[in-house]
Amino acid sequence: MNDTQGDANDSLILERDGGVATIINNNAPMNSFTLEYFDALEHALAELRDDPTLRAIVFTSAGNRNFSVGMDLKQLVSGTGRSGGFDAVLDQRMRVLATIENMHVPTIATMFGYCLGGGLELPLACHFRLCASEGARIGLPELELGTVPAWGGTARLTRTVGRSHALDMILRARKIDGRRALEIGLVQELHPPELLRAAATELARELAAMPPASVRGVLDCVVGHGDASLEEALAAERRAVAACAGTNDLREGMTAFIEKRRPVFTGD
């Protein structure tokens, strides 16, 4: 069943198809991240986080030209006028991206056209990044503005591609294409631009069919404890295994393996 919240005048459109949610930044053609979008995004994520039927989230943007050029710089003045000043705006960005990174379901970003500044930092917070095979321009060019990435880009890019590639991209303000992004491990897949969103939806449905308790366990182990000590990481894995014990999904998985058929997981 398809369900859409929002309209053409909204900064964010939320679509639901069963357990898959699609969040659309509705600010074409550049799809800069406005204050209104992040307010709506924080609200949407708070609701989705508590939804037991949610299985995966796709992040994309309106139109077919750009994922996002990052923060709407025209809103710098209005941002500093908010309660708490510009620090409050940055705090919200960091808080929202941390929520995306630590969701209990897989998060997927579609990357096409310009993916710059915050337009790369949001995908870096996602668990999967699918990129257009042509036309993508990906980077953290903040040094060209006399500043540094401010939404966790230095940390997440380094953890994703390694220090050498991160320094090369950030210090030289390099904008790479999809093929280079795949080479250095920044994205997992390339797809023709016209098929990118469909590929992300297909991946979301694939992940949504997996046993939810197992998915939560893997995300906690890999994302939540991937940088922990070996002892802490192994303890997290043991807890994840225990959480799956006795579930109907575990029994279904074992039975399907013995019967040589595809399992049908229900989340029980």
Positions marked catalytic: 121, 142
Instruction: Write out the two tokens for 263.
Output: 């399992």
Neighbouring residues of 127: CB distance < 8 A, sequence distance ≥ 6: 101, 106, 107, 108, 219, 223
Q: What are the start-end ranges of the H helices in the chain? A: 35-49, 76-80, 85-101, 118-125, 153-161, 163-171, 178-183, 196-208, 212-219, 230-244, 248-258
What is the distance between the alpha carbons of residues 39 and 82, in angstroms, rounded to a whole number? Answer: 12
Output Rg (C-alpha) for the chain, integer angstroms.
19
What is the distance between the alpha carbons of residues 92 and 43, in angstroms, rounded to a whole number? Answer: 11
Q: Which of 153, 135, 131, 156 is nearest to 143 (CA)?
A: 153
Q: Which amino acid is at 259?
A: E
What is the distance between the alpha carbons of residues 47 and 259, in angstroms, rounded to a whole number? Answer: 39
Sign of torsion over alpha carbons 75, 81, 83, 89: positive
37 close to 11: Cβ distance less than 8 angstroms: yes
